[in-house]
Amino acid sequence: MKIQERTGAGAGRSAAPAQPSVGDRLPTAPRERKPALAALAVLLVLVGALGATMLVLQAGDRIEVVKVTKDIQAGESVTSDDVTSVMVAADDSIDYVQWSQLGALKTLKAKSTIYTGTVVVGQMFGAKSSLPAGKASVGVALKEGQYPSGIKSGDIVAVYRVGDNSSSSSSGSGGSSGSTGSSAGGNLIVDKARVSSRSDNSDAAVSTGNLSLTLLVDQSDAAAVAQAASAGSVAVVVVVPGN
């Protein structure tokens, strides 16, 4: 009887699978090393560092040079208001005028027209102005009313003789354009002259309205323009291109 009870009690129990202990885990496969990828990463770091170094070196190999901020006509000198400084890459093959040389540059004359935005090189200037063949440079002093407002260097103007003696002076002038002017209106000296430079007293406390112009004219007309200018009998009119 006791044997049957023990047997029945044993039959009622369920057989549970044995659980492995915590320290009995299965071994994992070792991580695969990739030396090629590691070498590539190191190479990329080195290339990046080299590129950054080259940029720094190039940025350091720059010089400060002169750039014009408005047109400079032939025979004109630059002023502090005509130029600014810019940084450019140093190049021994280009004769840049460095910003530190601006003082010396102001004593020179432009050999030809230098347009706004041009970086200046030494060959653009000389100790003497270089006038085109057959041309002469004449200065005229004008009073308010003898010139249009807004006249500037580079403008093409017509030069007239004004005043009571305009007709007689015009007939006595030997300039070729003067003769043409006599038939047209009796007081035209030059039909087309270029303003190479201008000067006024705009910086003065009280403006007088006077203006001085340097005109580029044909040599045959220079004497007539100078004569009228010395008598204070000159007026200029801006010629509209195409007219």
Q: What is the pLDDT of residue 20?
A: 54
Q: What is the pLDDT of residue 210?
A: 85
* C-alpha to C-alpha distance for 71 and 55, rounded to whole angstroms: 34
Angle, helices 219-230/176-184, rounded to nearest 10 degrees:
70
Please list, in sequence order, all residues whose beta carbon lies within 8 angstroms of the beta carbon of residue 130, skipping any fewer than 6 positions away.
74, 75, 109, 111, 112
Neighbours of 98 (CB within 10 A): 15
Asked if 125 contacts 108 with a C-beta cutoff of 8 angstroms, the reply is yes
Please list, in sequence order, all residues whose beta carbon lies within 8 angstroms of the beta carbon of residue 66, skipping any fewer than 6 positions away.
78, 83, 84, 85, 96, 97, 98, 99, 101, 102, 105, 119, 120
The string of pLDDT tens digits covering residues 123-176 is 988 887 667 778 888 889 888 888 988 888 888 999 999 875 544 444 444 444
Q: What share of the chain is helix, strand, coil (3-state, %, to 5)?
A: 30, 25, 45
Q: What is the pLDDT of residue 58?
A: 59
* C-alpha to C-alpha distance for 60 and 83, rounded to whole angstroms: 23
**205, pLDDT greater than 50:** no
Q: What is the pLDDT of residue 110?
A: 85
Written as six digits, the tokens of 192 are 């087309």
- List of domains in the chain: 62-126 (3.90.1210.10), 135-238 (no CATH)
Could you give the percent of the chain with pLDDT greater than 90? 22
Picking from 94, 92, 122, the residue whose alpha carbon sits closest to that of residue 109 is 122
Q: What is the mean pLDDT of residues 83-112?
A: 90
* C-alpha to C-alpha distance for 225 and 161, rounded to whole angstroms: 8
* C-alpha to C-alpha distance for 91 and 88, rounded to whole angstroms: 9
* C-alpha to C-alpha distance for 162 and 159, rounded to whole angstroms: 10
Q: What is the mean pLDDT of residues 95-108?
A: 93
Q: What is the pLDDT of residue 176?
A: 41
Q: Which residues of 161-180 are buried (b: 16+ CB within 10 A; e: fewer)?
A: bbeeebeebbeebebebbee
Burial of 111 (0-12, 13-18, 19+ CB in 10 A): middle
**219, pLDDT greater than 50:** yes
